[in-house]
Amino acid sequence: MPHPPTYDEGPALERLREIALALPDAAEKESHGSLAFYTGKVFAYYGGSEKVADGHARHRSSVLVLADPVELPALVESPRCYVPMYLGVSGWIGLHLEGDPDWDEVAELVETSYRLTAGPRRVQRLDARRIDGP
């Protein structure tokens, strides 16, 4: 039996897809109701949840990324972010995409997560793209 989606379709997902799938070898898959962007490893999830006093809160329009350890403390303190269940202990952070998010910041966080998970050859290809142009 398929799992119901844990995320919302809409403009935020479409914009996130543009950002994530523009990275070298990036692909998308749905598993157990969650949407993941990956190469050899997942570098972003769309939708997440966090532990709250009376259980958990689902954030159906958010992106989860592996954060740069230097930037993580500031992100944890930001009201636009949350520490996701299960992945938060490994340095992942959730960023709300409701309203009018800063898409440049979203793209930067997704790229950082990609760089931390994609492997050196893919990162070299990404860097070469920057030098040569799209």
Q: What is the pLDDT at residue 133?
A: 61
pLDDT (tens digit, 9 = 90+) per residue, 84-134?
Answer: 988 999 999 999 999 899 999 999 999 999 999 999 999 999 999 877 665
Give the closest residue to 65 by CA, choosing from 30, 116, 110.
110
95 vs 42: CA distance, rounded Å:
16
Which residue segment(s) compose the domain that 90 sits in? 11-132
Q: Does 31 map to a domain? A: yes
pLDDT (tens digit, 9 = 90+) per residue, 30-88?
Answer: 977 789 999 999 999 998 876 777 877 787 889 999 999 999 999 999 999 999 988 99
77 vs 100: CA distance, rounded Å:
19
CATH code of the domain containing 89 = 3.90.1150.30
Q: What is the pLDDT at residue 134?
A: 57
The number of distinct structural domains making up the chain is: 1
